Structure 1
Amino acid sequence: MNKSRTFPQEPKIMETKNLNKSRTFPQDIIPNGGKVRDKKVLMIIAFQNFKDEEYFVPKEILAKAGVSVLTASTKKGTALGAAGGEAEVVLSLSEVKAGDFDGAVFIGGPGAAVLIDNTECHRIAQEAVAAGKILGAICIAPAILAKAGVLQGKQATVWSSALDKSAVEILRNNGAIYQDEKVVVDGKIITANGPAAAHEFGKTLVGLLGP
C-alpha cells in the first residue's frame, strides 16, 4: 500500500524562517556535557514541506554536542521546509545503510505524510533496530516506524489534534502502546509529538547516544 495520507498543518508555534541559521544552546542543557563526538546520525526528511523546527532544532543540538549529522530524503539536492528553511540532502533513501550510523531520525511535517508507506523508510527503520541503533521520530513520523513494524509492544507518541487522531490510530493498529506525551523513550526508540517537543527531542537524542 503506497497511498499517501494527508495530515493538516500543525499550528505554528514559533518563528521558523531563521532556523537554518546557527543558534546557541547553553552547554548545561546538553546531556553528557556534549561528549558524544565521533557519533554519526542520519536525519530523514521529506524533500518538500518537512517541519523546520523539528529538523533544525535537534540538528543544532546534536551538532553542538559533537555529533556528525547527515540528511537523507527521496532524492538528493536542496529540500525545502514548510516554513522556507533549506536542507542539503546528501543521500537518497536507497543509498542509506542504517548500520553506518549510530542513529536514524525521521522528521515530521506535512510532507512526511508521503513517507508513511515508503518501503525504503521502513527498511531503514528495520535495519536500525536490527543493528541496535538509536531510532527516533517526531510529529507524524512515528507513523512511519509503526508501519515498519518496529513499534509493536513499544510505548510511543505521535502528533495529533482534536480533529485528527489518524496518526494515533496508525500506531495503535500496528501494535504500539500510545502515550499522550511530548517525548517518549522505550529502549533505543525515541518518539516526540511535534515541533513544541523539538528541543527536548534533541536533548534526549544526545543522552541516548551516550558519552
Structure 2
Amino acid sequence: MRKICKIFLSIFLIILFSSSISLSKINKKILMIIAQQNFRDEELLIPKKLFEKEGYSVVIAGTSLKPAKGMLGAVVTPQILIDQVRVDEYDAIVFVGGVGAKEYFNNSIAHKIAKEAVSKNKILAAICIAPRILAEAGVLKGKKATCWAEEGKNLERKGAYYTGRPVEVDGNIVTASGPQAAEEFAKTIIKLLKTKK
C-alpha cells in the first residue's frame, strides 16, 4: 500500500511540475509588429514559429486589420492595431523589418510602444531596418545595436553604437541585421525570456 501511494505521489508531482512549466510559458506573450505592406516574411514567420514551438503566445499588430502582405508573398492578418497595444500585457515586443517597416520610422505610436517597453523592463527587439524605429524613438542612445547595414549610420546619428553583427544584445534590447539572422534573433529573444523572472 505504501509503495502504491509513493507511485501515485510521484506521478502527481511529475504532472504538477510539467504543467507548471507549460503554464509559465503559455502565460508569456510576445507582440510582433509588422508593416501593412512589404514586411520581410522570414523575419516574421521564423521567429513566430520558434516562439510558438516554445509555448509562447504570439500576437501580431499592425496599422490595419486587413491582410498584410510580405515582400515574398506571405499574407498575414494582424489581430490588433498598434494604437490598441497595451505594453503591460506582453513580455517581449518585436518590430519586424522589411522595406515596409519605414512606415514606423516616424510613427509616434510605435515610438511610444518602444519607450514604454524599455521603461517597463520588457524585452524590446527589432530586425533588419526596424532597429531604426528604436533609434528614432530614442531608446538606442548609448546602446550597442545592429541592423541592415544601410541603416547603420542612422543608428549612430541617434547615439547608438552600431556593431554590424548578425545579432546584438544590450540589456533587454535585441537587434538583428536581416532575414539571414532571423533564427538566431528568435533564439536570443527566447533565451532572454527564459532568464527573466
TM-score scaled to structure 1, two decimals?
0.80
Matched, 1:198 2:177: no
2:179 maps to 1:182:
no
CA contact (8 A) 2:35 2:63 kept: yes
**Cα offset, 1:43, TM superposition:** 0.2
Task: Please state if 1:139 is matched with 2:128.
Answer: yes
Is this contact kept in 1: 2:33–2:62, CA < 8 A? Answer: yes
CA shift, 1:36, in A, is 3.3
User: Could you tell me which residue of structure 2 aligns to residue 63 of structure 1?
Assistant: 52
Mapped to 1, the partners of 2:25 and 2:156 lie a distance apart of 34
- SS state at 2:26 partner: coil
2:40 maps to which of 42, 45, 51 = 51
In the comparison of the two structures, how many residue pairs are matched? 174
Q: Deviations over 1:99-135 (max 9, x none)?
A: 1100100000011112111111101000100110000
Q: Which runs of 4+ in 1 moved over 4 A?
A: none
Structure number with greater CO (CA < 8 Å, separation at least 6) is 1
**For 2:111, which of 101, 122, 125 is the aligned residue?**
122
8 Å CA contact 1:137, 1:191 repeated in 2: yes
Q: If you compute each CA radius of gyration, which structure gives the higher value, 1 or 2? A: 2
Residue segments in structure 2 that go unaligned for 5+ positions in a row: 1-20
Give the structure 2 partner of residue 27 of structure 1. Answer: none
Cα distance in 2 for partners of 1:43, 1:114 equals: 15
Task: Give the CA deviation at 1:77.
Answer: 2.4
Q: Report the counterpart of residue 152 of structure 2 in structure 1.
A: 168
Unaligned runs of 5+ in 1: 1-31
Q: Which amino acid aligns with 2:154?
A: I
Instruction: Tell me, in whole angstroms, the C-alpha distance in 2 between the residues paired with 1:155 and 1:99.
Output: 25
- Structure 2 CA distance, aligned partners of 1:70 and 1:183? 23
Taking every aligned residue pair, what percent have the same amino acid on both sides? 47
Q: Which amino acid aligns with 2:156?
A: R
Is residue 152–residue 164 contact of structure 2 (8 Å, CA) maintained in 1? no
Partner of 1:107: 96
Matches of 1:103 and 1:173 in 2, distance apart? Answer: 26
Partner of 2:10: none
Tell me which residue corresponds to 1:148.
137
Q: How far apart are 1:87 and its partner, in Å?
A: 1.3
